[in-house]
Amino acid sequence: MPGDDLKEILREPGEILREGGLVAFPTETVYGLGGDAENAESSRKIYAAKGRPSDNPLIVHIADFSQMEAIAQELAPQVRILADAFWPGPLTMIVRKNDRIPLETTGGLDTVAVRMPSHPVARQLILSSGCMIAAPSANSSGRPSPTRAEHVADDLSGKIDAIIDGGPVEIGLESTIVDLSEGIPTVLRPGYINLRMLEEVLGQDHVRMDPGLMEENVSARPKAPGMRYKHYAPRGDLKIVEGAADDVVETINRLSAEAIATGSKVGVIASAETRSRYLYGDIVEIGPRSDEEEIARHLFGVLRHFDDQGIEIIYSEAFDTPQMGTAIMNRLIKAAAHQLILAARRVTRVIFV
Ligand code: TXA
Ligand code: MG
């Protein structure tokens, strides 16, 4: 769409935002539910529309680095380095805030999450509104994040003023969040920009993962409030089956057959490579293992599909892919409430004669 047309189309949504209303819009990661970040009342409306706990802070979307400087206290030097490398794009930075962004927007915290999106609609909406746009993902709290406008409509129709339909998003997982408000830069939420990419820019040992993110670490709490809530949850009971491909297929087929025999509606998340080997239930192909970006893009939509079908039990393969595996498995493991099944190894006996 030529820029002038986009400007024209976004004039009205921009006005809605300026007047304190709520507009859902596409970004390169997921759809966001936007309000004027400097307007406490708009932020209150966002929490109400999503049914989101008001201590879970919003991300402020900007179009120019000067807006970061306008709302932050003194910035760590790494902020500029990361902005040069990854903005506009799927990276959110947490910095110490000044008084310009109200506490309603930051869930009462003295830090603020800031992102400069690359999606042309998101960028133009910020410019047209003249606002910095506070936007969480545009889903009802607890449901998978929306990757198409239809998902937003399913959750929020009648509760917000407008939805801008920009088609399916490009990435499909929410932005990588890095905390730069104190100490060593820390990844609070994994995303498309992975730890290795951050290390390349900041140097090894100069960026780390939030220890609270690791599932086996029960003593630490994730630092991002949103990572503590049960999240991304499909309505069905999701279990992830790990192991060698043959063992995973065999285990899922056995478990699906057992669940169907007891009257449950079963769904299976398969890869393109294994799709034809599954025998029971609503089998959905999420993408080829050779194309992890496709897997990421489809993940939330697949979980929503099972909700729509009234699926009660879902078995999924694990997707520990090279670039986005940490981000994909983080979302999947949370959706599964940490239910992991190790597929039994098929043991081949050697019989001596
Ligand atoms: O890709 C994205 O980031 C999308 C699009 C719309 O930009 N937005 C998004 O927002 O995912 P939301 O609200 O669903 O997730 C924001 C996360 C939450 O886990 C929240 O707790 C965390 O960011 N967060 C926000 N401000 C924070 C702060 N000051 N300190 C720590 N965590 C913060
Ligand atoms: Mg969200």
Residue 37 reports pLDDT greater than 90: yes
What would the mean pLDDT of 304-316 be, rounded to a whole number? 97
Residue 350 reports pLDDT greater than 90: no
- What residue owns the CA closest to ligand 1's atom 19? 226
**Cα 111–Cα 117–Cα 121 angle in degrees, nearest 5:** 135
What would the mean pLDDT of 42-52 be, rounded to a whole number? 97
Is 94's C-beta closer than 6 angstroms to any atom of ligand 1? yes
Residue 215: predicted pLDDT: 60
Q: How far is the CA of 90 from the centre of ligand 1 (A)?
A: 12
Is 30's C-beta closer than 6 angstroms to any atom of ligand 1? yes
Residue 216: predicted pLDDT: 54
- The DSSP line for 4-51 is HHHHHHTHHHHHHHHTT--EEE--SSS-EEEEETT-HHHHHHHHHHHT
Is 177's C-beta closer than 6 angstroms to any atom of ligand 1? yes
The closest-lying atom of ligand 1 relative to the alpha carbon of residue 174 is: 1
Region of residue 309 (left: phi > 0; alpha: psi -120 to 50; beta: else): alpha
Please give the mean pLDDT across all residues of the chain.
Answer: 94
The closest-lying atom of ligand 1 relative to the alpha carbon of residue 31 is: 6
Is 174's C-beta closer than 6 angstroms to any atom of ligand 1? yes
pLDDT tens figures, 229-261: 666 778 999 999 999 999 999 999 999 999 999
Torsion of CA 63, 67, 68, 71, to 10 degrees: -140
Stretch among 11-15, 208-212, 289-293 having the lowest mean pLDDT: 208-212
Is 135's C-beta closer than 6 angstroms to any atom of ligand 1? yes
pTM for the structure as a whole: 0.95
The closest-lying atom of ligand 1 relative to the alpha carbon of residue 223 is: 31
Is 125's C-beta closer than 6 angstroms to any atom of ligand 1? no
Residue 174: predicted pLDDT: 98
Q: How far is the CA of 226 from the centre of ligand 1 (A)?
A: 7
Residues 6+ apart with CB under 8 A from 86: 193, 197, 201
The closest-lying atom of ligand 1 relative to the alpha carbon of residue 191 is: 1
Residue 228 reports pLDDT greater than 80: no
pLDDT tens figures, 264-300: 999 999 999 999 999 999 999 999 999 999 999 999 9
Selected residue with higher pLDDT from 4 and 180: 180
* ipTM for the assembly: 0.99
Residue 344: predicted pLDDT: 80
Residue 231: predicted pLDDT: 62
Residue 218 reports pLDDT greater than 60: no
- What residue owns the CA closest to ligand 1's atom 30? 224
pLDDT tens figures, 323-338: 999 999 999 998 998 8
Is 97's C-beta closer than 6 angstroms to any atom of ligand 1? no
- What residue owns the CA closest to ligand 1's atom 12? 136
- The DSSP line for 82-142 is HHHHH-SSSEEEEEEB-TTS-TTTTTT-SEEEEE----HHHHHHHHHHTS-EE--BSS-TT
The closest-lying atom of ligand 1 relative to the alpha carbon of residue 177 is: 23
Residue 94 reports pLDDT greater than 70: yes
What would the mean pLDDT of 66-77 be, rounded to a whole number? 97
Sheet holding 186-189, edge to edge: 162-163, 23-25, 32-36, 133-134, 59-61, 111-115, 91-96, 176-179, 186-189, 208-209
